[in-house]
Amino acid sequence: MREISFHSAWTYDWTTNIFLLLRNIIPYYDGTNNLVVYYFKKQKPEEVVADILVESGFLSEYERAGWLANANYVTPTGKNIDRVWFNKGTTCFEALRLVAEVVQYRFYPDQDGNPIFKPPPIASLPVKLVTIDSITVSNLRELVDEVKNHIIIKGEERKRWDKLPTVATRDLVIDAKAKTAAMCGVIDSVGKGNVTERGFQWGIAMLANKEWHENGDFEVGLFLRELTEKELDFFIREDGCISPGDINVPHDEIRVSMDIATGSKISFSTTEGGVLPDPLIAGTSYYAIRVDSRHIQVATSKDDALAGIQIDITDRGSGVQTLTLSVGHWYRAYVENFQGMFFGKWQYVEVTF
């Protein structure tokens, strides 16, 4: 079958209600479904509004009938529209406005976010006024020396209803003393239904190589996940075998067992009774300047490291020293419910203890 065009292959006589075809495209009379005609049917305006809400995703198909039947949301118009169509590119809101305009109705969301399709309000019975004659005063007493007014003005309260879940990624919670780090997220809203899964994804260059999640019935609020010792290995690498002999004081260089890129965040510690090369301080964040695959210099800031401005090391220190390299990662929080998965923004983190 093929589509035939109006005024070129067929037309319609509105006076006689006759459907006319050109002779050369008259379908075969043998068989069935040789000609299929699509035409407009009368529709109730409120049902057209419900169809638009479903099409826009504001209502689901199974919510449609319940919305139409709810007198708090819809007042039946008692009218029919002969033909309903909209020009290409018409937005759903504009289509709703046009339908409401035809039947002199109003379409608007209530304070809970529910769509309302009702006629405009009309004048009704006057509100009964309370006058001074309606008030009985007893035990009247005037306190001249003490007059107290306690007035509270309370504005309109509206219930917030977010249609989709939202989650935000927060900074890592780091305990340097306990050497622990916990990922942190906040569920801001649960959407149409409770969140059934929440978790975190992390990796290098905003690629989710690792993931953790938990299932349940979660409400709005903060949630944390402490990284395990194995997971921390992805965020932190250590060289725990640096001796005073690995410190080159004239060149301000330290020999290391791994290739460290310029600008990488590092920190130092030493064994009990040991002393770091002066002026390095244990637990302070520094930044590496790569000399080659086995030697680095140390800078006080990332900008200094990128500019090649190193710290002047004045001695070798003593004891076994440990260099901790922070491997920069991206991580984000996420939540999931029957509407799908929803993610917080990627956040760059560097763990140092």
Are both 138 and 267 inside the same structural domain?
Answer: no
Q: What span, in angstroms and rounded, lies between the C-alpha atoms of 214 and 49?
A: 40
Output the CA–CA distances (angstroms, integers) from residue 147 to 22, 40, 140, in the order listed. 94, 73, 14
Q: Is the pLDDT of residue 350 over 90?
A: no
pLDDT of residue 60: 86
Q: What is the pLDDT of residues 274-291, one digit of tens each?
A: 899 999 998 888 999 999
Indicate whether 239 belongs to any domain.
no
Q: What is the pLDDT of residues 316-336, one digit of tens each?
A: 999 888 888 877 788 899 999
Are both 186 and 310 inside the same structural domain?
Answer: no
Among 237, 23, 305, 57, which Cα is nearest to 163's? 57
Domain boundary pick from 83, 109, 143: 143
pLDDT confidence band for 230 (50 / 70 / 90): confident
Are both 138 and 205 inside the same structural domain?
Answer: no
Residue 46 DSSP SS3: helix
Given a contact cutoff of 8 angstroms between Cβ atoms, the answer to whether 304 and 252 are in contact is: no
- How far from each other are the two terminal CA atoms of the chain, in whole angstroms? 73
pLDDT of residue 1: 46
- Name the token pair of 305: 């490291």
User: Residue 344 is part of a domain; what is its CATH number?
Assistant: 2.60.40.10
pLDDT of residue 3: 59
